[in-house]
C-alpha cells in the first residue's frame, strides 16, 4: 500500500543505483532532467523517501525495467523529503507516486507499489506511446539500425559518423557509444576508441554493450602486435602442429585481419590437441573472442557448440 506523507523521516540513504538511465534529481534540476529531457524520450519520475517501505520495493523494479529498455525511457528519482516544494507543486500526497513525462507533458501516472509484471507493462506502454507519437526516440532507434547495417556492410566510416550524430543527440546512449567504439576500431582509430572509453561513466561501462566493446578494443590492441607475423606463424605450425604458442598467436593475427571463423578454429584446434596447455590459455582466449563478438554473433554461436562438443566429448 502507499504511504501518506507526514510520517517519521530517518536520514536519507542512496537512491538511484548503478544504472546509466537512472539519476537522482531535485526541484532546481527538474526542468532540465525531466521537462527538457522528455523531448528526447519518456522520462519516469519516481517520488520516494528513504523511510518508505513500498518505495524500496517499487524503486528497484522500475530501475530494472528502465535498464532493460536500454535508453528507450529514462528515470528520475525525487526524494520528497529533500524537495517538498516540488512535491507540493505536483500535489504528491502519498508515496510512492510515479509520473511519466513525454515531450514536456505528463502522459501517465500511478500511486503505490506495483508487481514487477505491471511495472514492465507500464514501461512498455510508455515506449509504445512515444513510438506512436513519432517522437525523437523512434528516430534514434531507426538511426541505430542504419548504423548497425553500415557496420555489417563493411562501411565503418559512415557508421562512425552516424553513431557520432546519435551521441550528439543523446550522449548516454549505450548502443551508440558501443557502436562508435567498434567503428573506430574497424577504421584503425583504436587510440580514439580508448580515449572515448576513458570518458564514459562507471555506470555506462558496466552495461553489456560497453563491456563487449571494451573487450573488442583490448583484443584489437593485442592482435595488432601479432598481425605482421601471420606468415611466420603459419610456417611454424606447418613444421610443428603442436606448437600451441604459435597457434595462439596465429589466432590473434587472424582476429586482427577480421577472419573470425579462422581465428576461432585455430583456438578450437589447440583445445582439441591439448586443452590444458598453459592453464587452458586457448579456451580462455576463445571466451574473450565470444565476449567481444557478442552472444548473437553467428561465429560465437557455432564456436560455442564446437567448444562444448570438444570439452564434453
Residues noted as catalytic: 52, 55
The DSSP line for 215-228 is HHHHHHHHHHHHHT
Furthest C-alpha separation in the chain:
81
Handedness of CA 302, 308, 311, 313 (dihedral sign): negative
Q: Which of 125, 139, 113, 185 is nearest to 40 (CA)?
A: 139
User: How far is Cα 61 from Cα 51, in angstroms, rounded to an integer?
Assistant: 17
CA atoms of 30 and 61, how far apart (whole Å): 22
Q: Residue written as cell 516544494?
A: 85
- Answer yes or no: are the C-beta atoms of 162 and 147 closer than 8 Å: yes
Amino acid at each position: 500500500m502507499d504511504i501518506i506523507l507526514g510520517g517519521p523521516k530517518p536520514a536519507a540513504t542512496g537512491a538511484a543505483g548503478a544504472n546509466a538511465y537512472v539519476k537522482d534529481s531535485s526541484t532546481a534540476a527538474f526542468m532540465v532532467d525531466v521537462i527538457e529531457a522528455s523531448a528526447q524520450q519518456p522520462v519516469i519520475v519516481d517520488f520516494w523517501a528513504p523511510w518508505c517501505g513500498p518505495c524500496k520495493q517499487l524503486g528497484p523494479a522500475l530501475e530494472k525495467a528502465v535498464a532493460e529498455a536500454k535508453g528507450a525511457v529514462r528515470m528520475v528519482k525525487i526524494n520528497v523529503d529533500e524537495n517538498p516544494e516540488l512535491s507540493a507543486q505536483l500535489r504528491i500526497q502519498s508515496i510512492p507516486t510515479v509520473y511519466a513525462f513525454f515531450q514536456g507533458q505528463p502522459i501517465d501516472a500511478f500511486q503505490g507499489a506495483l508487481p514487477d509484471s505491471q511495472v514492465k507493462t507500464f514501461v512498455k506502454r510508455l515506449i509504445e506511446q512515444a513510438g506512436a507519437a513519432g517522437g525523437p526516440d523512434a528516430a534514434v532507434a531507426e538511426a541505430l539500425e542504419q548504423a548497425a547495417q553500415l557496420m555489417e556492410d563493411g562501411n565503418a566510416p559512415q557508421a562512425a559518423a552516424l553513431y557520432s550524430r546519435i551521441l550528439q543527440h543523446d550522449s548516454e546512449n549505450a548502443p551508440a557509444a558501443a557502436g562508435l567504439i567498434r567503428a573506430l576500431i574497424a577504421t584503425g582509430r583504436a587510440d580514439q576508441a580508448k580515449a572515448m572509453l576513458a570518458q564514459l561513466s562507471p555506470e555506462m561501462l558496466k552495461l553489456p554493450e560497453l563491456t563487449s566493446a571494451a573487450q573488442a578494443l583490448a583484443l584489437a590492441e593485442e592482435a595488432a602486435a601479432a598481425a605482421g607475423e601471420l606468415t611466420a606463424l603459419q610456417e611454424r605450425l606447418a613444421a610443428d602442429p603442436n606448437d600451441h604458442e604459435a597457434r595462439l598467436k596465429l589466432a590473434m593475427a587472424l582476429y586482427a585481419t577480421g577472419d573470425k571463423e579462422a581465428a576461432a578454429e585455430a583456438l578450437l584446434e589447440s583445445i582439441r590437441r591439448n586443452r590444458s596447455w598453459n592453464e587452458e590459455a586457448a579456451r580462455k582466449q576463445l571466451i574473450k573472442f565470444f565476449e567481444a563478438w557478442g552472444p548473437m554473433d553467428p561465429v560465437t554461436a557455432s564456436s560455442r557448440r564446437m567448444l562444448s562438443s570438444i570439452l564434453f566429448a
